[in-house]
């Protein structure tokens, strides 16, 4: 355990050193990242100038859901930056190097690609959440703080599990499958109240690709919105997280046994 913690610290230091060399680039990257995520927020803000509610949800509520979503997403983005895994580790065979080392292979890969710049998204999300929390005049108790942490951890686990499983597909097929960008676009559906979608999509987002558990479901616990039992479902968030992560790790560990190394 100590060994893994110290590894994480060493990689962090390394990251900071490389980043401080190109300071301006770092800030431009942070800014463009935030703009990318801000696009949906701008959509929400502009649209609410023309309508009082979105499927029965007020502006502050929708913004709250969005703010909540940004927090686990930023944490996930920090530790899970494997968008070019197939190219770098399978096609170029860098996996060889990783597998000869004693630490768990997935852990090493995650740390090698760490991107703490994404944490700025979490900070912005937390601020958005805090502002709409006070706009809505919601009470804030110790239990809320605790649940917030539990839900955020649950949501990060869901993301991590789903994308671990999808990344592991690279072990089975080294041709680009295009499934990662596909998933990336589907996840946007979870940022908005799920009751605006039809039944099929709602079911898909809740039980098959549980992106609703990353945004609207846990957020509705704090907003006290219990349509279709949303805020009751919220209590399942950590459980869903553990289940999805287990599936992800299982697929990964199965996949890694198929790794053969690159040619040459």
Judged by the rule CB under 8 A, the positions of this chain that interact with other proteins are 22, 25, 28-29, 31-32, 35-36, 38-39, 42-43, 46-47, 49-51, 53-55, 176-179, 181-182, 185-186, 188-189, 192-193, 196-198, 201
The dihedral over CA atoms of 253, 257, 262, 264, expressed in degrees to the nearest 10, equals 150
CA 86 to CA 60: how far, in whole Å? Answer: 40
Least distance (Å) from other proteins to the CB of residue 24? 8
Tell me the three state secondary structure of residue 57: strand
Residue nearer to other proteins on the CB measure, 25 or 96: 25
| Of residues 50 and 258, the one with the C-beta less far from other proteins | 50
Give the nearest distance from C-beta 77 to other proteins in angstroms: 15
Minimum distance of other proteins from residue 62's CB (angstroms) = 10
CB of residue 35 to other proteins, shortest distance in Å: 5
Report the residue number, 21 or 100, with the smaller CB distance to other proteins: 21
- Report how far residue 114's alpha carbon sits from residue 77's, in angstroms, rounded to the nearest whole number: 8
Q: What angle do CA 20, 26, 31 make, to 5 degrees?
A: 155
User: Do 87 and 128 form a contact (C-beta atoms < 8 A)?
Assistant: no
CB of 206 to other proteins, least distance (A): 15
User: What per-residue string of b and e applies to 107-119 under the rule 16 or more CB within 10 Å gives b?
Assistant: ebbbbbbbebbbb
Q: How far is the CB of 25 from other proteins (least distance, A)?
A: 5
Q: Residue 4 or residue 43: which is nearer to other proteins going by CB?
A: 43
CB of residue 39 vs other proteins: minimum separation in angstroms? 6
**CA–CA gap between residue 43 and residue 22 (Å, rounded):** 32
- Tally of CB atoms within 10 A around 101: 10
* Cβ nearer to other proteins, comparing 36 with 207: 36
Q: What is the spatial distance between Cα 104 and Cα 69, in angstroms, rounded to a whole number?
A: 29
- Specify the residue, 107 or 197, whose C-beta has the smaller distance to other proteins: 197
**Contact between 77 and 68 (Cβ < 8 Å):** no
Using CA atoms, how far residue 36 sits from 32, 70, 151, in Å, is 6, 12, 24
> How many Cβ atoms from other residues are within 10 Å of residue 202's Cβ?
16
Q: With respect to other proteins, which residue has the nearer C-beta, 201 or 247?
A: 201
């Amino acid at each position: 355990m100590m060994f893994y913690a110290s590894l994480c610290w060493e990689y962090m230091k390394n990251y900071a050193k490389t980043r401080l060399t190109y300071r301006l680039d770092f800030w431009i990257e942070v800014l463009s990242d935030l703009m990318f995520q801000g696009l949906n927020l701008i959509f929400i803000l502009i649209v609410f100038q023309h309508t009082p509610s979105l499927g029965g949800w007020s502006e502050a509520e929708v913004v709250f859901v969005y703010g909540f979503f940004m927090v686990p997403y930023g944490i996930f983005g920090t530790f899970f930056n494997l968008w070019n895994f197939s190219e770098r580790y399978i096609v170029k065979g860098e996996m060889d190097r990783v597998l000869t080392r004693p630490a768990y292979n997935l852990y090493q890969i995650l740390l090698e690609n760490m991107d703490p710049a994404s944490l700025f998204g979490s900070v912005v999300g937390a601020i958005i959440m805090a502002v709409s929390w006070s706009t809505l005049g919601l009470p804030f108790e110790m239990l809320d703080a605790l649940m917030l942490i539990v839900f955020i951890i649950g949501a990060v686990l869901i993301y991590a599990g789903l994308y671990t499983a999808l990344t592991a597909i690279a072990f089975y097929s080294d041709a680009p499958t295009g499934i990662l960008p596909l998933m990336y676009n589907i996840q946007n559906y979870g940022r908005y109240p799920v009751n605006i979608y039809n039944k099929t999509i709602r079911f898909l987002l809740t039980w098959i690709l549980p992106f609703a558990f990353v945004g609207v479901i846990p957020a509705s616990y704090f907003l006290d919105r219990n349509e279709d039992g949303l805020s009751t479902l919220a209590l399942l968030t950590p459980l869903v997280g553990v289940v999805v992560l287990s599936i992800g790790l299982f697929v990964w560990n199965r996949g890694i046994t198929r790794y053969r190394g690159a040619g040459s």
